[in-house]
Every structure is written in C-alpha cells, then in structure tokens.
A and B are shown apart, each in its own frame.
Chain A
C-alpha cells in the first residue's frame, strides 16, 4: 500500500509544485482550538501537517515554540491527547499526511511499542524526533519503520558528505533540511545556500527534501520552495496564534483564522514558486 506521504509527494510532483508544510503545537492554546486549527490548515493550503508534541524542555526550540509547548501543557495537553487530536482530524481528512514532531522522553515514558500502535491507529504518518540521531536508531527509528511509520530525519549544515549516508540510511517519507545551525525561529534562511545544500542532499537520496527553520514570510517561502521539494513554516504560525490570544493567553474568536490566514498567504507564496519558475 502506498503511504499517505508517498501519495502526497506523487500528487505534488504531478502538479509540478513544492509542498507547503505547516507546524503547529498540539494543544496550543488549548486542545479544542488546536483541533480547529489543524482542521483548517488543509483548506488554507497545507500539504503536510506537523504537530508538535509538547515537552517541558525543548532544547532545539526558540522562545516562540517553547512558549507554545508550555501553553499546551498548561491547558492539560498530554501525548495521549495529541494522539487523540490526530484521531479526530482523521475523521474528516483521510489524505493529508500528519507528522508528529518532538522529543523522545514522553514517547519513552508512554512506551515505544504502545506509542507506535496507538500512533498508527490514530492516523499518524511520520515522526520527527529531534533528540534521536542515527546513533540511537534502535530506540525508536527501527521499530517505527517496522510499524509502517515514516521516520523523518533532520539534516543540518553540519551534516557533511561523510555523515549524510548515516543520516539518510533509515530515513523515509522526506528529509527535513534544517537551513541554519540554530534553534527554531532564530534566523532567516539564505535561499541560495539552501539551494546548494538541497542539491548536495539529493546527490545522496531519492527522497524529497523539505526545508525549514527561518521561513517567516510568503516571499521567503517562495524563494525556498523554488529550491526544494517543500518549505516548512512553524514559528511564524505559532507567533500569529500567540498574537491572537487574550491577555490571559486564552483563545479568542480570531485565533483559528489568524493561523489559517497566514497559512493561506504562505501557501500562495509556495505555489507562486512554480509559476515563477515556469
């Protein structure tokens, strides 16, 4: 059976365009609003949705995503509820790939086998686990691949040609190229350097390469999408969400549309990349 992820990239290839990948934190600012946001994203033009699994100590994330995770935890979000969010989303969307992104400890405590069973049955397609490099593949990567989930690896500017094969060996779905050395939301990506890096990775793999970190505007999204198979936007969406909250950090009637409207503008940027290229 073709995976949702492979089917999505095959369809994008047919349409001749790059993927628009969105990241939002699961449960931010509360579980109900978060589900409404995730449901609105495909309509806004998201081709793939990454959902953050909140963690108290997100060592590779900048202030925006740290705060998003803490808002979600404060609103009672747990890993179990994040899986529930995916299950609810799947009731109305059978096609948009869902990737869970986060850190290993909550999964380790949930129990790896139970987590993989529950994730698969909830309709999760892939995992990105920031603190599991190839050196720790026996922990979760190998069992996840066996369970039929994609294990999407981060490649970074420090991943040189010597190391790339190890990073790509057990990667599936797509490769997530982190365009800067740094934390999420920190710096702007330089599209020409990104193009060279994507070309370098593509010499080692047939997998699609999506690029993230530092993409905040439709213009940057367009420039990056022109040089890659997909552009990932996270912090900018999280910031738009935060700006819509009331003084106590609670959702307002504007919250869902604040995220969806920015997503739609970014999606137009990504789609513009192909028109510009044609």
Chain B
C-alpha cells in the first residue's frame, strides 16, 4: 500500500486517465486520434441533459430498470447471519448488467456518427447486449469471441446470430477473452474510420474505464435509494464478482466514500491460486496490456499468462485499473473463489431461491456463503446478481451429469 490515501475515492481518474499509477492510454498511434475524439464526445454527452433524458427513457422502457433489490430470505435463513439482498441485474433485458454500459456507449457512438460496432465477449453477455442494441438502432455488429468460449457458451452465440450480429471465433492464444480483445483491437486499428469499439468492462485505454464505470454506476445509485426504502439506511457490505470488474464497479462506486460500507470483490481462483486461475490481484502484479496499466497475470519476462476460470466471463488475466487502485489504497477487499466453490454456490442458489445465477455471480455467492454466517443478523449485505444462468445450463449440466456417471 504505497499509494497515498485520497480525500475522496470517487474523484478519479485524472485528465490523463490515471487512477494512481494505474490506467493510462497505452495504444497504437492509429487509435490515439479516435480515443481523443471519444473522450471529447463522451464529455459533451455527459454535460448534455438531452443525453441523460434519452438514456433514462431507454433504461426504463427498454432495459426494464430499476432492477429490484430483493431480500433473499431463504439464503439468509440458511446461512444464519447477515441479511442478504440481491441486486437483480439478471432481470435486465438481455439477462445481465452488461446492457447498462452498452446502451450508453451506443448512444455515444450514434452521436459520433459511427455505423459499425465491434465488441469482445467472454461469456457472451456483453456480446448479446451489444448485438441487441445494434439491432435496436440499426447498426452493423461484429463480436469477437474466443473459440473455447464459443464452445462453452453456445446459447449466447445463437442469440447473437439471431440478433443479426456476426460472431468471429478467435483461434489465437488460449482462445478466450484476452484473445478476443486482441482481435477486436486489430479490427479497430484496421477500420478505425467507421468503427466504434464497444468495450464490455471497466478496462482498456482512457476514457473507457471511466465511461463504463459511469454507465454501470446506475446499479449502485439505485441500490442506495432502494436500501433506504427497504431498511431506512445504507447497506453494511457490498459484494460482487470481478473479471474486468464492471458489475462490481457499478455497485461499488456510489458507496466508495461511505466508510461504514465494507466492500468485497471476488476474483476467479479457477483450479486454485497455486494452479491455473484468473485472479489478477491475488496472483498478479502491475503491468501494461490492452491500453492500461493494471494488475496482470504474467511471467518474469512480462509475457502474459493464460488465465483459467470455469466462468468464461471471468477468464481474463487482468482487471480494470480502478480496481487495482482501490486494492492498493485498501478501500476494497479482493477475495477469490474457485471453480468448485462457484459450482456449489450455483447449485445452492438455484435450489434455495429459485434463481439460477450465471457462473460469474456464483463466485460472489460462494464468498457470501463464507462471510454472511460471521456477520450479525442486522448486517445488511448486498450481492450483485449480475447475470442469469441460462447460458451456463448446458455447461453445468454436462459437468454434473459427468460426475453422477462417474460415481
């Protein structure tokens, strides 16, 4: 913790896109003019009441916001400690929090006159959200997805194609999210004149981490209001899973300056932190990749390691730069959950609450199962239920049936 403690945790980034030493704009010169244009276009949109009015209208009538804050009574009883609430982002149109950000970026792209949208996707939730908004606004859509993820998230591939998007399976590297992002960047460098890159998480070159955070902060802002209505006070703790970290940042950011609120981010520990995993903060160190400086999994030569998680959405060797900073200044506690812990949480939640979670938020639930029993009954804990599990049903079904047969 070498970084100085700031007066506010919510004032970043600086005008060069830095959160402490993290963030920045590490991109090829070809992209730099466009990134500066985007920064300007976003600043103008942010200051324009008409932009916010339009966003609010679509968030309400198209996305279905506000998403409920739901008291998970049976899970609370089962764990016997904290009173657990779910922020129901999985009930949004397209089935996850991703749509909040995509809507915002598509609005900005329209203001910039861009007609072609590209995106990277891991689990396919960001790809589906992007394909959906492109269909809604009549824009061309190309989604890059690692070939391994194309296999394990077939339902989302089919959805994207039905929505009119072109899904490009990426064969390089580990064929997962990192490689999809490399390929999307290559497309962007090639087609920069007409193409808008809709990044799915709080990472990439400035202004993306800030812009995506702003669009996702609707999650935390609603949670504040809804918790006031339900309990007449702020929550005592927040918990969310982290790949790049957009659902977590969206929930956390509006609470960063409330010292009474404990905040937990949950990375994917894959097979375990001493084996293949995707926990950049637990197992990585600061480096530069995909436009920003942040915690990364890499070897001693600075070569990026391949990540592993059962969850395609968390299977990435980096994390958003603002999370790296919040870790260094000690504001957020970063934990990790293994594939096995996530699978157990997935099954428990399905049976106790009638909610099949995506494998991504199942990682957050896994840590709720550890943390909640240690808290008093008046402790209010909010979990971001960032996505629904329909996309994971075939994959988890195969795993569980395989185990039943082996017994």
A interface residue numbers (CB < 8 A to B) = 54-63, 66, 73, 78-80, 103-110, 130-136, 153-160, 163, 167, 178, 181-183, 186
For residue A133, which residue of chain B has the nearest CB? B32
What residues of A have a CB within 8 angstroms of the CB of B30 in the complex? 60, 154, 156-158, 178, 181-182
> Within the complex, which residue of B28, B172, B185 is in contact with A133, where a contact is CB–CB below 8 Å?
B28
Q: Is the CB of B28 within 8 A of A105?
A: no
What residues of B have a CB within 8 angstroms of the CB of A73 in the complex? 303
Q: Is the CB of B300 within 8 A of A109?
A: yes
What residues of A have a CB within 8 angstroms of the CB of B290 in the complex? 57, 59
What residues of A have a CB within 8 angstroms of the CB of B191 in the complex? 181
6 new A-B contacts, CB < 8 A, other than A135-B24, A158-B34, are A59-B185, A66-B172, A105-B304, A106-B301, A110-B301, A133-B28
For residue A103, which residue of chain B has the nearest CB? B288
What residues of B have a CB within 8 angstroms of the CB of A158 in the complex? 29-34, 192-193
The answer, yes or no, to whether B377 is at the interface (CB within 8 Å) is no
Number of interface residues of B (CB under 8 A): 36
What residues of A have a CB within 8 angstroms of the CB of B289 in the complex? 57, 105
Q: Tell me, rounded to whole Å, the shortest Cβ–Cβ distance linking B32 to chain A.
A: 5
- For the A-B complex, the count of residue pairs with Cβ-Cβ distances under 8 Å equals 118
Q: Tell me, rounded to whole Å, the shortest Cβ–Cβ distance linking A186 to chain B.
A: 6
Q: Is the CB of A109 within 8 A of B25?
A: no
The answer, yes or no, to whether B58 is at the interface (CB within 8 Å) is no
Q: Which of B32, B33, B185, B193 has the most A CB atoms < 10 Å from its CB?
A: B32
The answer, yes or no, to whether B189 is at the interface (CB within 8 Å) is yes
Inter-chain CA distance A103–B304, complex, in Å, is: 12
Inter-chain CA distance A176–B132, complex, in Å, is: 41
The answer, yes or no, to whether B281 is at the interface (CB within 8 Å) is no
Inter-chain CA distance A59–B144, complex, in Å, is: 14
Q: Is the CB of B186 within 8 A of A59?
A: yes
Q: Tell me, rounded to whole Å, the shortest Cβ–Cβ distance linking B30 to chain A.
A: 4
Q: Is the CB of A105 within 8 A of B298?
A: yes
The answer, yes or no, to whether B228 is at the interface (CB within 8 Å) is no
Instruction: Given A133-B32, A135-B32, A183-B190, check contact A108 B16 (CB 8 Å).
Output: no
What residues of A have a CB within 8 angstroms of the CB of B296 in the complex? 105
The residues in B between 158 and 176 inclusive whose CB is less than 8 angstroms from any CB of A are 172-173
Q: Tell me, rounded to whole Å, the shortest Cβ–Cβ distance linking B25 to chain A.
A: 5
Q: Is the CB of B288 within 8 A of A155?
A: no
What residues of B have a CB within 8 angstroms of the CB of A157 in the complex? 30
What residues of A have a CB within 8 angstroms of the CB of B27 in the complex? 131, 133
Question: B273-306 vs A: 1/0 string, CB under 8 Å?
Answer: 0000000000000011111010010101111100
Q: Is the CB of B189 within 8 A of A60?
A: yes
Q: Is the CB of B185 within 8 A of A106?
A: no
Inter-chain CA distance A132–B182, complex, in Å, is: 16
Q: Is the CB of A59 within 8 A of B28?
A: yes
What residues of A have a CB within 8 angstroms of the CB of B33 in the complex? 158-160, 163
Instruction: Given A178-B29, A183-B190, check contact A108 B288 (CB 8 Å).
Output: yes
Q: Is the CB of A131 within 8 A of B16?
A: no
> Within the complex, which residue of A105, A135, A159, A181 is in contact with B189, where a contact is CB–CB below 8 Å?
A181
Can you list 20 A-B pairs, Cβ within 8 angstroms, ordered by A?
A: A54-B303, A59-B185, A60-B30, A61-B186, A73-B303, A79-B302, A80-B301, A103-B288, A105-B287, A105-B302, A108-B287, A108-B288, A131-B288, A153-B29, A156-B29, A158-B31, A159-B29, A181-B189, A181-B190, A186-B190
Q: Is the CB of B193 within 8 A of A181?
A: yes
> Within the complex, which residue of A109, A130, A186 is in contact with B28, where a contact is CB–CB below 8 Å?
A130
The answer, yes or no, to whether B178 is at the interface (CB within 8 Å) is yes
Q: Is the CB of A154 within 8 A of B287?
A: no
* 10 A-B pairs with the lowest CB-CB distances in the bound complex, closest first: A109-B302, A106-B302, A182-B190, A156-B30, A131-B26, A78-B301, A59-B185, A56-B304, A133-B32, A105-B302
What residues of B have a CB within 8 angstroms of the CB of A130 in the complex? 28
Instruction: Given A73-B303, A109-B300, A160-B33, check contact A135 B25 (CB 8 Å).
Output: yes
Q: Is the CB of B303 within 8 A of A56?
A: yes
Q: Tell me, rounded to whole Å, the shortest Cβ–Cβ distance linking A86 to chain B.
A: 16
What residues of B have a CB within 8 angstroms of the CB of A80 in the complex? 301
Q: Is the CB of B190 within 8 A of A108?
A: no
Inter-chain CA distance A136–B26, complex, in Å, is: 7
Q: Is the CB of B287 within 8 A of A133?
A: no
Q: Tell me, rounded to whole Å, the shortest Cβ–Cβ distance linking A159 to chain B.
A: 6
What residues of A have a CB within 8 angstroms of the CB of B34 in the complex? 158
What residues of B have a CB within 8 angstroms of the CB of A182 in the complex? 30, 189-190
